[in-house]
Amino acid sequence: MKKSVNFWIIIFSILLFSVRWFNSFSNFYETIDSKIIFESVSDGYYYFSQLKALANFNLNYSFDPNVVNLGTITVPTGAFLLHFILYLIIGSWSFIISEFFFIFLFLIIFYKIFRLLSFNRIQSIALSLVLFTIPDFLQLLSLEQLNYFSVVYSELFSLRFPRPLVSNIYFFSFFLFLIKLSRKKIFVKKNFIILGLISGLSFTSFIHIFIVEQISLLFFFIYKYKLQVIKVIKENIDCIISYILSFIIISAPFLINTFFNETDLLERFGLANLDYDQRIFLFKYHLTKLLKPEFFGVFISSVLLIIFLNSKNLFNNTKKLDIFYIIFYSSIITPFVFILISTKYFSHFYHFNNIIVICAFLLLFFSISVILNMYMKKIFSEKFTNFIFIFLVVVSLTTNVIQTQKNYFKNHLNDKSILERKEFNKVINIIQETDLLKKNKDLSLLTFDNKFLIWFILNNVEF
């Protein structure tokens, strides 16, 4: 049966991947570099130049012969890891192939989470597909622009490189591993090596997620061991050392890169010193967001949900939901901890709020799923319940196909987009047919078009 499940997860991954790329390959005949730029979700293609620099092992190149001796650009090495390895082997195709891999990882991670929450195999696959297609459902219902829904739509999971395509997979892996950890012996070296790897990859891809993970881990230990937590940690210091070592090994390239970084570029990205006035401002900003009626309602709902589960004597059966509560409440506390201890911050502080919304959504989604599943087991036969979830699979896949087609026609097959893409590819074809890049090694380029800029960087134009 396990082999059968893996087969279906692979099949569904192929279907979702094919739906994503079918229109591009059937409508546009172009170089692979052009294709990945135009098909990039949102502004993800901006990061292609950083990956190219990493693949060239040259992170301090200015693209200007008169500008030398720069510091390095700060590259999210964890977020680039798979793409970097594949890029060295298959070049720009790596961006397409990696998408399939991350779609598969998303489905397999959430399948395993649902299995740990006592759902059967059919239900677990179905609900994983529902989660993947949540953005499509929101669009279908015209909810994607509404407050909070817009965050779930764009930040829960999408194919934007590298975030949330890669970074959120690490975050969801943390969810999965913490749930697994809650049901077995915790202080085993292997567990802490894996935690160190996940933390290292998160730290080097999206620091906001990393901080949430560490505070969640701390509260998880307090939850498990209560007042004995310090004593237990002291008794298992070898596990803590294993965690630190595995974290350092994964983070080392990023830390070395950051040590030699170009400070002007970090300022350009929004890095600033965090003084007293800014701390007060950020504290008030975050508190204001949390006290908004919409979020306060979600917070109260989560508390009432715990009370409901206890009052119905269901809590013992849903013990593994504790992890979702721990991560959700940790995500609320995280920005305040960050404000207190950090000396610097990035101007896009709102990412902390987005993570809170994602954690709140996952908490409610899993809680409601578990409660409904319990009642369905009591009311319906297993055969009928499975039929409902098979129907959910069909609905999810159909919704994805329909919405992907609508989005593609709207964003890529309108007259303006087609004309821009044809003109772009016409220029590229002229360059390739005349062997312009090979004949002119010192060719320099002036352009205000970001897509051309990235294409030329990918094709080794130096200046």
> Which amino acid is located at 208 in the chain?
H
Tokens 């599943």 correspond to: 373
Tokens 């680039």 correspond to: 80
* DSSP state string for 255-283: HHHHHTB-HHHHHHTTEEE--HHHHHHHH
pLDDT recorded at residue 314: 56
pLDDT in tens, the chain (463 residues): 666 888 999 999 999 999 999 999 999 999 999 999 999 999 999 999 999 999 999 999 888 888 888 899 989 999 999 999 999 999 999 999 999 999 999 999 999 999 999 899 999 999 999 999 999 999 999 999 988 899 999 999 999 999 999 999 999 999 999 999 988 889 999 999 999 999 999 999 999 999 999 999 999 999 999 889 999 999 999 999 999 999 999 999 999 998 898 888 888 888 888 888 989 998 998 888 888 888 888 888 887 877 776 666 555 556 778 899 999 999 999 999 999 998 888 777 788 889 999 999 999 999 889 888 888 888 988 899 999 999 999 999 999 999 999 999 999 999 999 999 999 999 999 888 887 777 776 778 888 999 999 999 999 888 8
Query: What is the helix (H) or strand (E) element at residue 346, kind and residue range?
Result: strand 344-346
pLDDT recorded at residue 147: 85
Alpha carbon distance 24, 408 (integer Å): 9
What Rg, from alpha-carbon coordinates, does the chain have? 24
Alpha carbon distance 92, 359 (integer Å): 33
DSSP annotation of 146? S
- Structure tokens, 262: 């170009």
Long-range pairs for 116-121: beta carbons < 8 A, 24 or more residues apart: 116/176, 116/179, 116/180, 116/183, 116/320, 117/179, 117/318, 117/320, 117/321, 117/366, 117/369, 117/370, 118/317, 118/370, 118/373, 119/369, 119/373, 120/382, 120/386, 121/1, 121/5
pLDDT recorded at residue 397: 97
Alpha carbon distance 3, 313 (integer Å): 36
CB atoms within 10 A of CB 291: 10
Using CA atoms, how far residue 263 sits from 208, 258, 260, 346, in Å, is 20, 10, 9, 13
> Which amino acid is located at 404 in the chain?
T
Alpha carbon distance 282, 112 (integer Å): 37
Predicted TM-score of the model (pTM): 0.94
Asked if residue 116 lies in contact with residue 318, where contact means CB atoms within 8 angstroms, the answer is: no
- Structure tokens, 400: 């994805």
pLDDT recorded at residue 382: 87
Do β-strands 271-273 and 344-346 pair in parallel, antiparallel, or remain unpaired?
antiparallel
Alpha carbon distance 35, 39 (integer Å): 6
pLDDT recorded at residue 75: 93
